[in-house]
Amino acid sequence: MLIGRQNIALIFAAAVLAFISCERSRRDVSVAKAGSVSLEASQLKQLIPEGFEDRFGDDALQFVSQWTENVLLSEAALKLHLDERKDVAAKIEDARRMILASAAEQYLVLPRTQVDSAEVVSYYQEHSEEFIRQKDEVLIEHIALDDSFARDSVAALLDSIPFEELAERFSIYPADVSQGYLSRDRMHRKLAKAAFSLSEGEHAGPIDTEFGYYFIKLVDFAPKGSLREFSEVEQGIRDYLSEERFREVYADVMDSLRSVEGVSIDTNAIEEALTKIEN
């Protein structure tokens, strides 16, 4: 959760890890150095958030450069004893406290918030009324284009090459159905008009919008009042149950800590202090 400015090395990390051979992976590898600090391959790996593992862009060196600047500035601050200033020391302590609190959540709370598949299925079965469609919805694939040449090319090939193949070749956005089922009010009006007039498997386009040209294919139509398939809502249920369990476990952990360590809050003193600050 605490990424902050440390994400300067994220993009660079993917490339570094890709070049580390099996032999070199047996030991840590320094990938950058600034002042007295080295950036190790293992540190980069820990910093890479989910979804960034395989990304490497032309601006990778900018991220590394920013990391080196942060290191140099922080070491300069230490040489000037800025960490001993009351205001700076307070901020350092606040940051330390937040990092430790996050670590405590990770080790004391998160391990107890796991939700198994049986719980997700049970929730779906017992709360089916929550998953009834309130409006007609469509599931579509699309080909998004940003120039007339690509538009004309797709139009010429649409009847001879599978829609999915054209999408992979030409679309500037993925043509999958990751957006899920959509009602009219969640779609561009022109796309909605075309989508709700199609039969399953049919396609339409080009559709000219202010965002570019679109070809769409109807994968499925789901009428108002129909029950959403389990696969549509599974992840949402899992997330909901995990969040609920997190709140319960977190409250339990905090109650335990309060009973052992003790907590007191003087509201009068707080109000008086705030009044002095305002004045």
- Residues 140, 160 within the same domain: yes
- Residues 181, 146 within the same domain: yes
Query: Is 31 contained in some domain?
Result: yes
Secondary structure of the chain in the HEC alphabet?
A: CCCHHHHHHHHHHHHHHHHCCCCHHHCCCEEEEECCEEEEHHHHHHHCCCCCCCCCCCCHHHHHHHHHHHHHHHHHHHHCCHHHCHHHHHHHHHHHHHHHHHHHHHHHHHHHCCCCHHHHHHHHHHCHHHHECCCCEEEEEEEEECCHHHHHHHHHHCCCCCHHHHHHHHCCCCCCCCCCCECHHHCCHHHHHHHCCCCCCCEEEEEEECCEEEEEEEEEEECCCCECCHHHHHHHHHHHHHHHHHHHHHHHHHHHHHHHHCCCCCHHHHHHHHHHHHC
pLDDT recorded at residue 13: 38
Query: Is 265 contained in some domain?
Result: yes
- Domain end residue (candidates: 179, 197, 222): 222
The whole-angstrom separation of Cα 107 and Cα 192 is 47
Query: Is 37 contained in some domain?
Result: yes
Q: How many residues does the chain have?
A: 279
pLDDT recorded at residue 14: 37
Query: Is 213 contained in some domain?
Result: yes
User: What predicted TM-score, i.e. pTM, was given to this entire model?
Assistant: 0.62
Query: Is 194 contained in some domain?
Result: yes
Amino acid at 173: Y
Torsion angle in degrees (nearest 10) through CA of 53, 59, 65, 70: -60
pLDDT tens series, the chain, 279 aa:
333 444 433 333 333 334 334 444 445 677 778 888 887 777 766 655 555 555 555 556 677 777 788 889 999 999 999 999 999 999 999 999 999 999 999 999 999 998 999 999 999 999 999 999 999 999 998 888 888 888 888 889 888 888 888 888 888 876 554 568 889 888 889 999 999 999 898 888 788 888 889 998 999 999 999 999 998 899 999 999 999 999 999 999 999 988 888 888 888 888 888 887 766
Strand partners, 34: 37
pLDDT recorded at residue 175: 55
- Residues 215, 239 within the same domain: no
When divided into structural domains, the chain yields a total of: 3
The sheet with strand 137-145 has its strands ordered as 137-145, 212-222, 203-209
- Residues 30, 4 within the same domain: yes
Query: Is 173 contained in some domain?
Result: yes
The whole-angstrom separation of Cα 238 and Cα 244 is 10
- Residues 215, 236 within the same domain: no
pLDDT recorded at residue 264: 83
- Residues 170, 210 within the same domain: yes
- Residues 137, 208 within the same domain: yes
- Residues 8, 71 within the same domain: yes
Domain that includes residue 174, residue range = 133-222
- Residues 147, 204 within the same domain: yes
The whole-angstrom separation of Cα 65 and Cα 70 is 9
Query: Is 218 contained in some domain?
Result: yes
CB 195 within 8 A of CB 215: no
The whole-angstrom separation of Cα 178 and Cα 195 is 16
- Residues 24, 63 within the same domain: yes
- Residues 49, 5 within the same domain: yes
| Cis check: omega of the bond before 49, within 30 degrees of 0 | no
* Structure tokens, 147: 């120039």
Query: Is 242 contained in some domain?
Result: yes
* Structure tokens, 236: 């949402």
- Residues 238, 168 within the same domain: no
The whole-angstrom separation of Cα 42 and Cα 47 is 9
* Structure tokens, 261: 């360590």
For residue 166, the domain's CATH number is 3.10.50.40
